[in-house]
Amino acid sequence: MTPNGAILFGVLLIAATGLARDLTSLAIVLAVLLAFALASRRNLTSALLWSLGIVAPLAAFMALVWIGIVGRAPHEIAAGVEGSRAAATAYVALVCARLFLIAFAIQALFLRFSDWTSLAFVRALTAPALAKKALVLTLSLIETILHAIDRARTALIVAGLITRRFSAQNLRNGWVLVQTVWLTVIAIAIGRTRDKWPAEGTLARLDHALAATAPRFAHVDALWSGAALICLIIVLGLR
């Protein structure tokens, strides 16, 4: 599957998820998604658990608010009727199922390309050269910043400004950590922009490295995108 095909599949499926009005429609989306996840032969369990972990706290809050406190569904509030906790439960179930499917879809797609390098993934994307370049730069800078965070944390712990664990000191000096990280990364960015890149013409080399060499779409993309499109049509039909 190509990244372009994966994005198309993902967009269609997430659109279907967003437009689904009942649990039956969401079940159809789930079926297509599970088929895709199983066919990709990646670690399904981790994707499911991650998605559940993201949605569970939100589900708990929603249940507390809608079922526990409000006790009726939004359409019942809009109609001015007394309503019921059962309707509130159905509403919460629908919203949580939708959230879960979105999270799972993104995880399944992400796992599909987990053994690709960032450069290879961005190279295969059909996108303006500027956007591809910005994406590559951002991904690289994320690593730089995460590393800078670790180094800044070391510096501030050694200087006695923050502690390893939660403390009032950390609340007072959390800003210093942010500032230190920013300045470290800015210094790196200045060095590259002023010295290394002009000397080498590095960004021009990146253009070359990002030039797509493989076809934009593969046959398997049509299969899965077709399945997602059919799913979307069914969901629209069920509305």
Partner 1 sequence: MFTTPRLVAIALCAALNFAIGNVVYLVKLPIYLDSIGTILCALLIFPDRLAAICCAFMAGVIGIILTGLLLNPFLPWFVFTVLAIVLVSALLTGRATDTFRARPLEPLRFFGKVILYGVITGIASAIVSAPVVVYLFGGVTGSGSAFVVAFFLKAGQQLLNSALLAGLTTEPVDKTLQVLLAALLYRATPREFISMLRLPQPSPT
Partner 2 sequence: MGELISGPNFSGRSAALAVRLNALAPGNAFFIGPYAEAALSGLSNTVSDEIAVYRSPASARAFAPLDFAALAARKPPTLSGGEQVLLALHCFATSDFTVIGIDTALEQLDPGNREDALGFLAGNDIAAVLVDNRLEQLPGWSVCEQQGTSAFACDLAAATRSLVPVNAPTIAIENLSFRYAAGPEIFQDASLALTPGRAYRLSGPNGAGKTTLFKLLAGVLAPRTGRITLDGAPYAPWRTGNRIFAFATQNPDHQWCGATLGEDLARRRRALERHPEIAVPDETALTALATHLGAGSVDQHLYELPLTARKRLSWLWPLSGALPWIMLDEPTIGQDAMTRTALAEAIAHLTACGHGVLFITHDDAFAATIAHGTLQLANAEITASH
Residue closer to partner 1 (CB basis): 115 or 219 = 115
Which residues does 71 contact at the CB level (< 8 Å), separation at least 6? 83, 84, 85, 88
Judged by beta carbon distances under 5 to 8 A according to partner kind, the member of partner 1, partner 2, none in contact with residue 184 is partner 2
How far is Cα 94 from Cα 101, in angstroms, rounded to an integer? 11
For residue 50, which of 32, 40, 37 has the smallest C-alpha distance? Answer: 37
Which amino acid is located at 190 in the chain? I
Residue closer to partner 2 (CB basis): 87 or 210 = 210
How far is Cα 13 from Cα 231, in angstroms, rounded to an integer? 7
Judged by beta carbon distances under 5 to 8 A according to partner kind, the member of partner 2, partner 1, none in contact with residue 95 is partner 1
| Interface contacts to partner 2, rule CB under 8 A | 117-120, 136-137, 139-141, 143-144, 146-147, 151-161, 163-164, 173, 176, 179-180, 183-184, 186-192, 195-206, 209
How far is Cα 211 from Cα 109, in angstroms, rounded to an integer? 23
How far is Cα 193 from Cα 199, in angstroms, rounded to an integer? 10
- As a 3-state breakdown, the chain gives helix, strand, coil percent values, each rounded to 5, of 80, 0, 20
How far is Cα 117 from Cα 25, in angstroms, rounded to an integer? 35
Residue closer to partner 2 (CB basis): 30 or 124 = 124
Judged by beta carbon distances under 5 to 8 A according to partner kind, the member of partner 2, partner 1, none in contact with residue 158 is partner 2
Residue closer to partner 1 (CB basis): 95 or 218 = 95
DSSP code, position 114: T
Judged by beta carbon distances under 5 to 8 A according to partner kind, the member of partner 2, partner 1, none in contact with residue 117 is partner 2
Judged by beta carbon distances under 5 to 8 A according to partner kind, the member of partner 2, partner 1, none in contact with residue 103 is partner 1
Give least dist CB 129 to partner 2, A. 14
| Interface contacts to partner 1, rule CB under 8 A | 18, 51, 54, 57-58, 61-62, 64-66, 69-70, 74, 77-78, 91-92, 95, 98-99, 102-103, 106-107, 110, 130, 133-135, 137-142, 144-146, 149, 153, 162, 165-166, 170-171, 173-175, 177-179, 181-183, 185-187, 189-190, 192-194, 197, 203
Give least dist CB 147 to partner 2, A. 4
How far is Cα 195 from Cα 200, in angstroms, rounded to an integer? 9
